[in-house]
Structure 1
């Protein structure tokens, strides 16, 4: 099997546990293949955690889940030096925390205070953790997938802009349509019957090996991006920084634009999107498809825009309308 065949098999396996939500599954795969971290937002019960666990279950990887709570400490995430008594005398030995895994689920990340959230910064950006002056490297395959609830604000700590920017994409999960909700009921009922049965009705496929991910990343690195597409990427980002040059509405809506990380994210995600669609080049539709996920957490809106009920997604759509296609 080619790397694309293996990744498509992973997509199918995840789809067996998640009804509908095709775009969400694709965004999980893009985050995995683009070697980035994802922030997944949605109302309670929309299968945020289930989607991440389904991907980890069908991938040959170490998975860990950190349930973020207000009393969590940084050492609970990164690990700590433990005092041990041995035959040769007392020593300190590093005990790795749950951050040392291939796929890390940071569940309800906005429930932990800033000190704990910042403990993720070095791991997410530098792929390493420093404890007691010693640096510990993360595994080659490493990504953080964080979830947050957008409506429950009591007892939560909004993520600082610096940490938001470190997420490759901000993925939003919405309510499923009626037909999908019926299928969800049937799927969960079938899973409950399998748990009660001595002989499960379906045989689980073998997990996709990590080598398939690394092979896919090598092919994605070779995807062609023309000069015109690169200019289009940069112009989209520039439109968030100098909005008055593109539209009066954008000038009223945008307070602070996107950082250079947005340009890098557009490049990585658009090449991955093209590869997943069996193309060896990036076209404008790849950029338009992933632009909302790349921009929505990197834009700071004005008070006027917030008062009018303007959402980041509406701003991104205005940017895509105002910036000419290459």
Structure 2
């Protein structure tokens, strides 16, 4: 096995194995594999339906929640296994459950709420980061459903929780992150907090996420090509989302009522085509590339390989 091939297969520590020529370029210029709706493997069928809006009224119907679970589950493996597989960007969508006896306890969501709370998952991520100090993790926290009442107090509480858990591992947004600068500072967690009131030096602002809002892989590829040619941000993180997206109107029933289908099956059929598009991006410098079912079909290795091509 060649040295480069070996580097790509050792995915649990792939950043530490990148060539020295890539250690001092901004992380914005590296190709970084990410997972879309990272916590969707943990959805709770006893939860109420959060989205789409026109299905919320069926929350009390178990059959409706079961269908929602099939079509909202975009990841198969837990967070630790995703990180072990080489994922370095996590898409974490936050919710506070209504009528929770602990009003400042938070969960994740995608169609349904998760069973596991935010604090437990963030501690798992911190523990993983401590045992892999040269792997830089980018956590994108967004959506913040159920924050309508006491919104400022809830954000303050959540931000303080993040800072308490990660502490000196947080890389500040005032500095340009490179592998070497993160290693030198001993800071390997970057938190993006998508809330306009975020003024924390420790936390980054919103990371742009580009996707095509379609179930057609060809349209996904076309939209991402447009972004890379005309709208690619400079000097900041950005995400190219390979993910397919269910319709938000009544045409959603064309998919969710298929008795033998689920979202994972549909995604797995489209992923080989989408990964072929990734292989063609050697000279276009996509930054974070996020996908569903990230442990399938060598998704992570395909993204990481773009960095070795860049080094050449």
Normalised to the residue count of structure 1, the TM-score between the two structures is 0.26
Which has the higher Rg, Structure 1 or Structure 2?
1
Higher relative contact order (CA 8 A, sep 6+): 2
Whichever structure has more helix as a proportion of its residues is 1
